[in-house]
Chain A
C-alpha cells in the first residue's frame, strides 16, 4: 500500500513537472483564457453559440501567424475551463486563470447570470469583458460600476419591445386581433422578460389573455398549451429556454395551436430547431436573427461550418464571433498585451466586424438583432436596433 502511494505521488509530480515545462516553453504566445459551461444545464446552449466561435477564432488567428504585436507576431494559446454551469466553479476558474495561469485576456462568460456574477473578478484583475450572451436592464448601472465591461446583445426592454412592436403592427394592419397568450420559464431570464413585457404589451394595445410560468425542466408542457389554446389567443409569446422552446413548439404542433404569430425565445434560432420541425418551423418568430446575405456573414458561416463542423446559429453566434474580432483588433491596435490600454482602445475606436462597424457608447454597442423569423429554412432578422436589411414579418399559417 505504501509503495503504491509513493508511486502515485511520483507519477503525479512527473505529470505536473511535464506540464510546467510545457507552459514554460510556450512563453512566446498570447495566453487567452475561456471559462464557460461544457456540462450542466447551459452546456447545450454554449456548445452551439459559445465554444465553436472561440475555436474558429483561435484557429483563424493562428492560421494567419498569430496576433500582430509590436514585438512580432504571437500565436494564441487558449486555456479552457468548464464551469459546469455553476457560478461558484466559474469564479474559481476565472480566479485561477488570472493568478495561476496568468493569462493575458479572458473571453467573457456564457449566460447573463455568469457575466454578472464574474464581473467583479474580471474588474479586479483589469480584464476587459466583452459580454455577449448577457441581456439585462441593469446595463447602465453595471457599466458605471465596472469600467471594463462591454455589452453587445441588448436589453430585456429591447427584446420585449420588439416583440410588442411586431404584434402591435400586425394588429394595426388588421392582420390579427390583440389577444396575446404569454408564458415564461420560472428562471431569472424568463421572469425578467415577462415582467418587462407586461406593461410594454399593454401600452402597445395588446391584451394578455393567458399569463403563466412553469418551472425549468418541466417534463409535460401539454397542460400549458391546452390552457393557451382555451384562451383563444391571436398570438403566442414564450420567454423560454432551449428544452421548453422545443417542448412548447412540439405541443403547439400536436394541439394544432391556431395563432397568427408564434414566438419562442432562446434556441429558436438554432439550426437544430428547423431540423426537428421542418416545414412546421416556417413563420415561427424567435429571439435573435441575422442577415445571412452580407458577404462577411456568408464567409463567416462557411468558415464556421468548415472549422467546427457545425452550422452557426442564427443569432448570438455572430455576436460572439464579432466580440472576438473586437478583442483581436484592440490587441493588435495597442500592439501589446496590456489590458488597461486594450480596454481604453475598445472604448475609443470603431471595429470592423461581421456584423458591420461596431462602436461602443458608454461601453454598450447598440447594433443587434432582436427578433428573427424562420422563412423557408433560414432564420432571418425581422427587427433590430440599427441593423440594416430586416426582412418583413410573415403571418404564421398553420403547422404543415
Chain B
C-alpha cells in the first residue's frame, strides 16, 4: 500500500514533467530539448515569489501559467517559425528543432544564471507529513499529485470535448489532412506549443516545493520527459499518464523492495522493454 501511494505520487510528478513535452512534440512536432529549462524557469518563478513576497507557490501558478504561455508562443513565432517555413518534411523539422532547442537550452541556462545565479534554490512549503493508511506522506507531493490529476483532467476534457481541442488532436494525427479540412495548422501548432510550455512551467512551480534545483539541472528533467513521452506514445495524453505512473510505481517498488541504487536501472529496463515490444509507445499509433 505504501509502495502504491508513494509510486502514484512520484508518477504524478513525472506526469507534470512530461505532459508539456508531449503536447509540443505530438502536435507542434517540435522535439523541445529546452523543456527542462522551461520547467526550471517555472520553479524559479515560484521560488522567487515565495521567498520575496511569501506568495504561495500554488498562487504563483496563476501568473506563471499565462506568462509561460506568452513566452512559449513568442518562442514559437519568432525562433521556431523560420525552421518550420524552411522544413521540407517532418523529419527535417524534427532534426532542425532538436538542434535549435538544444542550443536554446544553453541560452536559457545562461539567462537564468545571469538573473538568479547558479546557487541551489530550495524552500520549505507544505513539507509536513500527512498520515494516509498508517504511512506518512509529504503534503507538498500530494498537492502536486492533485494538481497533476486536475491539469490532466482539464486537458483531457478540452482535447476531447471542445472544438479547438479536437483541432489539436487532428493536427497531432495528420497535419496535412488537418489542413485540408480547414484547420489552421500553424495556429494550432503555436497554441499547442505555448500550452505545452505553460504546462511544463506550472509543473516546475509545483515541483519546486519539494525538489532542490539549480539553473543547470533542467537537462535531467528533459531526459525523464523524453523517456515518458516516447514510452507513452507521442501525442497522446493517456499514454503520458500511464507511462509516468508505471515509471513512478516501478522506481518506488525497486527502491523499497530491492535497492534504491537500482531505480535508474529499473526505469531504463522498462523503457527498453517498451521499445522492443511496442516501439510506437504504449498508446502510439504505428507509423506507416
Q: A interface vs B, CB < 8 Å? A: 37-41, 43-44, 46-48, 85, 183, 186, 212-215, 217-220, 222-224, 226-227, 242-243, 246-247, 250-251, 253-256, 267, 270, 272, 275-278
Q: How far is the CA of A219 from the CA of B39 in the complex (A)?
A: 14
Q: How far is the CA of A253 from the CA of B215 in the complex (A)?
A: 26
Interface-facing stretch out of B71-79, B88-96, B121-129, B183-191? B121-129
A44 touches B261 (CB 8 A): no
A272 touches B119 (CB 8 A): yes
Q: Does B32 contact A (CB under 8 A)?
A: no
Q: Which B residues touch A220, using CB under 8 A?
A: 6, 9-10, 13, 248, 251-252, 255
30 contacts between A and B (CB under 8 A): A39-B110, A39-B113, A39-B118, A40-B216, A47-B117, A47-B118, A186-B261, A212-B260, A214-B261, A215-B264, A218-B263, A219-B10, A220-B9, A220-B255, A223-B3, A223-B256, A226-B6, A226-B256, A227-B256, A242-B120, A243-B213, A243-B217, A246-B122, A254-B138, A255-B136, A256-B136, A267-B120, A272-B120, A272-B122, A278-B124
Q: Which A residues touch B9, using CB under 8 A?
A: 220
A246 touches B113 (CB 8 A): no
Q: How far is the CB of A396 from chain B (nearest CB, A)?
A: 17
Q: How far is the CA of A99 from the CA of B249 in the complex (A)?
A: 53
With A39-B118, A43-B215, A255-B136 as contacts: A276 and B260 at CB distance below 8 Å: no
Q: Which B residues touch A254, using CB under 8 A?
A: 127-129, 136-138
B129 touches A256 (CB 8 A): yes
With A217-B220, A220-B10 as contacts: A255 and B129 at CB distance below 8 Å: yes
**Partner among B216, B224, B252, B256 whose Cβ is within 8 Å of the Cβ of A39:** B216
Q: How far is the CA of A390 from the CA of B211 in the complex (A)?
A: 33
**Partner among A46, A219, A247 whose Cβ is within 8 Å of the Cβ of B13:** A219
The 8 A CB mask of B230-264 against A (1 = contact, 0 = none) is 00000000000000000010011001100111011
- Max chain B CB contacts within 10 Å: which of A44, A46, A227, A267? A44
Q: Which B residues touch A246, using CB under 8 A?
A: 120, 122, 212
B264 touches A243 (CB 8 A): no
Q: Which A residues touch B263, using CB under 8 A?
A: 214-215, 218
